[in-house]
Amino acid sequence: MKYKSNFNVVYSCRYHVVWCPKYRRPVLVEGVDVRLKSLIVETCSKMNVDIIEMEIMPDHVHLLIEVDPQFGIHRAVKQIKGVSSRVLRQEFSWLKSRIPTLWSNSYFVSTVGGAPLAVIKRYIENQKTV
């Protein structure tokens, strides 16, 4: 197992995060999914959040990320959802007419300390085939 550190904490905090568009509408299509991936990568790099695995489905997003415990998973997810919603709704105006807000307020998060990382990565990779 590899550990990361900042000035005063040594950590390995990996999370499986899933969230959906409002009303679980399948709007992450027609280029929105590609742009969303790039926005997530860009936002995570600014926050020093490592993306281990990512999969965008038409009606939900799966992320496997490593977050500094002092930064916090809630803050990271809030930032990713906020930035992506604002930019996607500006660039794809048809999203504004389909749903009042891009993302639902809720999300699923689970630590992956108990499961082998390879198993979680495989699960996220295989979401496209389900």
Q: Which two tokens stand for residue 62?
A: 């799966």
Please calculate the CA angle 49-93-107 and round it to the nearest 5 degrees.
35
**What one-letter code names the amino acid at 96?**
K
Say which of 3, 15, 107, 123 is annotated catalytic.
123
Would you call 23 a catalytic residue per the annotation?
Answer: no
Quickly tell me which residue has 């600014």 as its tokens: 46
Secondary structure (H, E, C), 78-110: HHHHHHHHHHHHHHCCHHHHHCCCCECCCCEEE
Which H or E run contains 125?
helix 117-125
Torsion-angle region of residue 24: left (phi > 0), alpha (psi -120 to 50) or beta? Answer: left
* Residue numbers annotated as active site: 123
